[in-house]
Amino acid sequence: TYFPVCADGEKTYSSPCAIGCLGQKGKIGDLEFLKCVCVEDIYKDRRIIQGACSTWCKNMTIFLILGFVYSVIEFIIYIPQIKFTIGISEEKDTELTSLSIQQMLLRLFYMLESLLLSPLLDYSCVLFNPTTYCGQTINCINYDLKKLSYVIAIPSISCKLLATLFLFFAALSTRTTSNPPDLVYYNQEGKSVNFNFE
């Protein structure tokens, strides 16, 4: 059964039995477990108490500030990205087609993301629900938060850097020199005369 215990506020274990606790003191809801032989070397002279450890993020302020800055930058570059995608096409008829293809590929990758991240999320799971469905566990009860943070952050940052790199290469490969427009004048006879200032 799942009866979580917290070892010195650092790590949650599934039950006192899982770490070999031989004794307890206190009352239900405020139990402290003693002589936990499996983790005695790690948590010697430290408290192992009933309940899961706190999941409060120590660097929450930094995370919120960086998240806000990231969101602002994303909003700033979103319209230029769309204009760039539309501007890549030389023919007027295909401008919206390039934007449509880009958005379609984005949605496709969003769907694939859940399939690709699922094994990584399972990797950071410490304890699965013992209930099985068709021979497989269906959800995680407890995650290793440090592993989970890496599993989420590293693919996200990698994808964003890769997308920025592709955008940079696309900008370099499609850079064109802007020619001044042809000026059209009409002579006294009403015939047009073109002037090109190249």
Burial grade of 80 (CB within 10 A; 0-12, 13-18, 19 or more)? exposed
Q: What is the domain partition of the chain in residue ranges?
A: 5-50, 58-177
Question: Residue 118: helix, strand or coil by DSSP?
Answer: helix
What does the pLDDT read at residue 137? 59
What does the pLDDT read at residue 69? 93
What does the pLDDT read at residue 54? 78
Distance CA 181, CA 178 (A): 9
Q: Is the pTM of this model over 0.75?
A: no
What does the pLDDT read at residue 76? 87
CB atoms within 10 A of CB 13: 24
- From first to last of its 198 residues, what are the pLDDT tens digits of the chain? 678 888 887 788 888 888 888 888 888 888 888 888 888 787 777 888 888 887 777 788 898 998 899 889 888 888 887 887 777 766 666 667 777 888 888 888 878 777 888 888 888 887 777 665 555 656 787 888 888 888 888 888 888 888 888 878 877 877 655 555 555 555 666 665 555 544
Q: Are 67 and 60 in contact (CB under 8 A)?
A: no
Integer angstrom CA distances of residue 170 from 38, 66, 83, 148, 173: 56, 27, 13, 33, 5
What does the pLDDT read at residue 65? 94
What does the pLDDT read at residue 93? 64
